[in-house]
């Protein structure tokens, strides 16, 4: 009986030791990962037109990846602003979509792309750029401070007026046309992009 007891005790000890040496299975859920101290990250990058925007890339790089900003990118390159908007910045860019550009009469839009109109095109594009990084919350805070409106000084030196329409940020240009921010806070390595639904026209 004593021999049987010793064998049973030895077997139990061996099983316990084997259990201690077993490699734990990796966590399969976020909750399990948190419980074990491991970190499981999911992509939280926003998409524009279905294309992922990477915060480690510049304004020009991300705009070039957007399928709904082809006209804007072509205009930036034609106006020789690609290098500037790829620089350190930071910049806040209100980025008109291809549909926004399509609202401009073709004769006028095509005229902007002529080499002789490079200065005019550059002025229009710079009117969509505000030096510094302004998030949507920053703009809303400025509007609140201004008791309903905020004046943003653009890179071309003219003013752009921001107000609130419903729950959206509404931009009114110096020439009187308007654009709504349809998607905001798309972080870039050198600033932030806010997608707008119209091309803002400065005073010429």
Q: How confident is the model at residue 175 (pLDDT cuts 50, 70, 90)?
A: very high
pLDDT at position 45: 77
pTM: 0.78
Mean predicted confidence (pLDDT) in 45-67: 94
Model confidence band, residue 184 (pLDDT cutoffs 50, 70, 90): very high
- How far apart, in whole angstroms, are the C-alpha atoms of residue 196 and residue 95? 6
Q: Is 75 left (phi over 0), alpha (psi -120 to 50) or beta?
A: alpha
The residue with greater pLDDT, 14 or 98, is 98
Residue 93, SS3 per DSSP = strand
pLDDT at 41 over 60: no
* Mean pLDDT calculated for residue range 34-44: 37
Q: Which of 66, 186, 72 is nearest to 136 (CA)?
A: 186
Residue 157 DSSP class? S
Domain definitions of the chain by residue range: 2-36, 54-196
* 166 in Cβ contact with 120 (< 8 Å): no
Q: Can you give the pLDDT at residue 80? A: 97
pLDDT of 11 strictly over 60 = no
Q: Could you confirm whether domain 54-196 is CATH 3.40.50.720?
A: no
pLDDT score, position 13: 41
**Mean pLDDT, range 70-84, rounded to an integer:** 97
Confidence of residue 44 (pLDDT cuts 50, 70, 90): low
């Amino acid at each position: 009986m004593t021999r049987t007891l010793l064998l049973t005790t030895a077997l139990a000890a061996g099983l316990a030791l084997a259990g201690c040496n077993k490699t734990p299975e990796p966590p399969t859920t976020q909750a399990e990962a948190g419980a074990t101290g491991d970190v499981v990250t999911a992509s939280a990058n926003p998409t524009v037109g279905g294309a992922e925007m990477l915060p480690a890339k510049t304004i020009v790089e991300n705009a070039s990846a957007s399928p709904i900003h082809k006209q804007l990118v072509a205009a930036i390159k034609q106006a020789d602003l690609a290098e500037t908007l790829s620089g350190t910045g930071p910049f806040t860019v209100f980025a008109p979509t291809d549909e926004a550009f399509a609202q401009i009469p073709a004769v006028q839009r095509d005229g902007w792309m002529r080499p002789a109109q490079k200065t005019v095109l550059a002025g229009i594009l710079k009117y969509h750029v505000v030096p510094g990084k302004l998030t949507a919350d920053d703009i809303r805070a400025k509007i609140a401070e201004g008791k309903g409106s905020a004046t943003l000084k653009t890179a071309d030196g003219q003013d752009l007026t921001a107000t609130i329409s419903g729950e959206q940020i509404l931009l009114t240009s110096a020439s009187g046309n308007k654009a709504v921010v349809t998607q905001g806070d798309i972080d870039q390595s050198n600033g932030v992009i806010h997608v707008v639904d119209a091309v803002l026209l400065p005073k010429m």
